[in-house]
Structures are given as structure tokens and as C-alpha cells.
Amino acid sequence: MKKDEQIQIDQAYITKNQLACLLQLTTRTIDRLMARGLPHYKIGNQRCRYKVHEIEQWLRANCKVVRRSY
């Protein structure tokens, strides 16, 4: 995120672009995660918003950490 886009991380609703930037993923990957159950809120026909706290909980419960041993 840019410095002028600072948000209150704990309870704020953020856009798909902000979430992609925060997680260092593409917006297409966010779409794929949404299809797998990533929590989101639809506003109108196309706008989605996300709560960072809910996203963090969902990622902990549904994604695994992979570490390479060199």
C-alpha cells in the first residue's frame, strides 16, 4: 500500500487491490481464494470489501506454511 493509503488494519474494510498488495498476491489470486471461501462482503453488484482480521483468521485455518530445506 502507498503511504497515503494507510488504514486501521484491525477493523477496517479494504479493497481487493489493497488486500492483494498487503498479501503480495495478484487480484486474480484473490479471486481464486474467494472461490475457495475467502471471507468478503459484496457491495452492490461488483464491489467487494474485506476485513483484514477475518482474512488473517481464514488464511491460518485454510493455508499451510511451506518451508524449503536447502
CA-nearest of 25, 19, 7, 23 to 48 is: 19
Specify if 32 maps to a domain: yes
pTM of the prediction?
0.74
Specify if 49 maps to a domain: yes
Give the chain's domain count: 1
pLDDT tier at 4, thresholds 50, 70, 90 = very low
Dihedral sign of CA atoms 39, 54, 16, 32 in order: negative
- DSSP secondary structure code for residue 37 in this structure: T
Examine the pLDDT at 39 and tell me if it is beyond 80. Answer: yes
Specify if 3 maps to a domain: no
Q: What pLDDT score does 43 carry?
A: 86
